[in-house]
């Protein structure tokens, strides 16, 4: 009953015992933090102790949940309580979200204080070094801004690349050589993997491959990764790079998989092939038979309904479930869908990628929520869905890596000038 109506915490029966009472009060406040965050804060402040919630640990659990939702929802009514409570409490995740809230609201004067409360590893990460640079820039300290961006630019990720662009520098790839000897791997399972792939049993081949990786040394895993790359087993080489922890061997992590498919499909829609390849790398790690929990399929993880609609719009016969797994069909339809999103969002890749992940109507809603236009970097950080936020950053980063590794490294751009320089709001769609 408390879960359905957490404000009934005032109606707890007398005979349940103090320990159970406190547990129920804390649980009800945590539930109320989700359903009515302002009311949860009011009850916690004004009545919880009198109702019997006195155990410090249970009080902290309730307060932490109220603080979390107060932060991610940007509830101004709770701000004074929130900041007072976070002065002496709060998990690293909640403090991270509070610093993020300062970015979203562009309160550059307060951001450094919140970042200073984060663990040292988080403070040194490119993300917060980038935002400290932005705060310093907005506060008129260009020298400090460049120092922060310099520290961020040494890291191979979205904010590292974004900081490098701020400094007018090339992104740092930190690319390592495969560093294997010339001997070929000898595991008998390799023959089974080859045969299973030949007879179109990708799941069995995947299982066999992973069994070999789990029962191999690090050196053997590296040989397997190089062998998979040479065979064009792109999904298997990515998996081997993970098992070998070869984070800096970019040839294994970002092979130019199905390059001709992506180039030909992109040419039909005047699209950047590295962008659609980056989408596939993020969506499926190049496993053609990937299937998500919600039913998305194939290299570019198309929902069946989306695949059918895109095919019909193109005047083609809608594919069945098995056909969607075919790389030729999947890349053709996925690239066309990406091109349609780019057209809908006036060529803006940030918005199109957010729509590819979360749906175009959600992106429309997020743009409409901006009372004032905001810079591109702030808009990306303010994307409400963590998955979509990470997705946009990852795909744009992967695109730079693919082009730098396999294309023209002289023209590497994370955000184009029009994407970086245009304020983000619903007016972008006019």
Does residue 410 register a pLDDT over 80? Answer: no
92-172 adopts what CATH topology?
1.25.40
Phi, psi angle pair for 291, to nearest 5°: -140, 125
Q: Which pTM was predicted?
A: 0.94
What is the rounded CA–CA span in Å between residue 379 and residue 373?
9
Average pLDDT, the chain: 94
Rounded to an integer, what distance in angstroms lies between the CA atom of residue 344 and that of residue 355? 10
CATH topology for 189-253?
Answer: 1.10.1240
Say what angle helices 349-358 and 360-369 make with each other, to 10 degrees.
Answer: 120
pLDDT at residue 322, rounded to an integer: 86
% of the chain beyond a pLDDT of 70: 99
Residues that are catalytic:
283
Residues 6+ apart with CB under 8 A from 183: 223
The predicted pLDDT at position 270 comes to 93
What integer is the mean pLDDT of 46-50? Answer: 93
The percent of residues above 90 in pLDDT, for the chain, comes to 89
CA distances from 60 to 88, 146, 326 (A): 11, 39, 52
Q: Are 311 and 317 in contact (CB under 8 A)?
A: yes
pLDDT digits (tens, 9 = 90+) for 103-131: 999 999 999 999 999 999 999 999 999 99
- Report residue 251 as tokens: 């040839």
- CA-based nearest residue to 250, from 236, 238, 232: 238
Res 45 pLDDT > 90:
yes
Which residues neighbour 38 within 8 Å (Cβ) at sequence distance 6 or greater? 75, 77, 78
Token duo for residue 225:
């990764």
What's the pLDDT band for 297 if we cut at 50, 70, 90? very high
Helices (H), 139-233: 142-152, 158-167, 189-198, 202-214, 218-231
Cα of first residue to Cα of last residue in the chain, in angstroms, is: 48
pLDDT at residue 370 in the model: 74
Q: For 55-109, what is each residue's pLDDT tens digit?
A: 999 999 999 999 999 999 999 999 999 999 999 999 999 999 999 999 999 999 9
Mean pLDDT calculated for residue range 317-342: 93
Residue 183 has pLDDT above 80, yes or no: no
Backbone conformation region of residue 338, classed left if phi is above 0, alpha if psi is from -120 to 50, else beta: alpha
**3-class DSSP state of 403:** helix
Rounded mean pLDDT of 399-419? 92
pLDDT above 70 (res 51): yes
Task: Give the confidence band of 262 by pLDDT, cuts at 50, 70, 90.
Answer: very high
The band of 356, judged by pLDDT with boundaries at 50, 70 and 90, is very high
User: Would you list the domain boundaries of the chain?
Assistant: 1-90, 92-172, 189-253, 259-429
Helix (H, G, I), strand (E, B) or coil at 303: coil
Please tell me the predicted confidence (pLDDT) of residue 143: 98
Rounded CA-CA distance 150/45 in Å is: 44
Least confident of 18-32, 205-219, 270-284, 407-421: 407-421
CATH fold of 259-429 reads Lysozyme (1.10.530)
Contact 134, 116 (CB under 8 A): no
Closest CA to 412 of 270, 239, 274, 279: 274
Confidence check: pLDDT of 180 > 80: no
For 307-317, what is the mean pLDDT?
A: 91
Per-residue pLDDT for 184 more than 80? no
């Amino acid at each position: 009953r408390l879960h359905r109506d957490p404000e009934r915490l005032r109606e707890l029966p007398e005979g349940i015992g103090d320990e159970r009472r406190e547990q129920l009060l804390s649980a009800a406040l945590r539930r109320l933090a989700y359903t009515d965050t302002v009311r949860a804060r009011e009850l916690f402040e004004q009545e919880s102790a009198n109702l019997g919630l006195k155990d410090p640990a249970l009080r902290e659990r309730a307060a932490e949940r109220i603080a979390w939702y107060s932060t991610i929802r940007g509830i101004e009514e709770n701000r004074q309580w929130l900041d007072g409570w976070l002065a002496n409490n709060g998990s690293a995740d909640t403090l991270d979200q509070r610093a993020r809230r300062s970015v979203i609201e562009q309160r550059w004067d307060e951001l450094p204080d919140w970042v200073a409360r984060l663990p040292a590893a988080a403070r040194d990460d490119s993300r917060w070094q980038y935002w400290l640079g932005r705060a310093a820039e907005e506060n008129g300290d260009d020298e400090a801004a460049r120092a922060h961006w310099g520290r961020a630019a040494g890291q191979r990720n979205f904010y590292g690349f974004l900081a490098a662009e701020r400094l007018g520098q090339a992104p740092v790839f930190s690319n390592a050589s495969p560093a294997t000897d010339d001997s070929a791997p000898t595991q008998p399972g390799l023959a089974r993997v080859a045969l299973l792939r030949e007879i179109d049993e990708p799941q069995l081949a995947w299982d066999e491959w992973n069994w070999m990786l789990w029962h191999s040394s690090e050196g053997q895993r590296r040989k397997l990764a190089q062998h998979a790359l040479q065979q064009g087993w792109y999904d298997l080489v990515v998996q081997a790079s993970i098992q070998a922890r070869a984070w800096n061997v970019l040839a294994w992590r970002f092979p130019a998989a199905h390059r001709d498919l992506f180039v030909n499909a992109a040419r039909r829609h005047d699209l950047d092939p590295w962008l659609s390849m980056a989408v596939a790398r993020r969506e499926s790690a190049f496993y053609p038979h990937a299937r998500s929990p919600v039913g998305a399929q194939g290299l570019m993880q198309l929902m069946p309904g989306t695949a059918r609609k895109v095919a019909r719009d193109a005047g083609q016969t809608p594919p069945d479930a098995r056909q969607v797994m075919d790389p030729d069909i999947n890349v053709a339809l996925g690239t066309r869908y990406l091109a349609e999103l780019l057209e809908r969002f006036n060529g803006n890749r940030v918005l199109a990628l957010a729509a590819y992940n979360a749906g175009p109507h959600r992106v429309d809603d997020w743009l409409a929520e901006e009372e004032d236009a905001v810079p591109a970097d702030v808009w990306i950080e303010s994307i409400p869905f963590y998955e979509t936020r990470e997705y946009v950053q990852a795909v744009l980063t992967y695109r730079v890596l693919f082009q730098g590794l396999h294309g023209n490294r002289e023209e590497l751009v994370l955000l184009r000038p029009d994407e970086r320089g245009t304020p983000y709001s619903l007016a972008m769609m006019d």
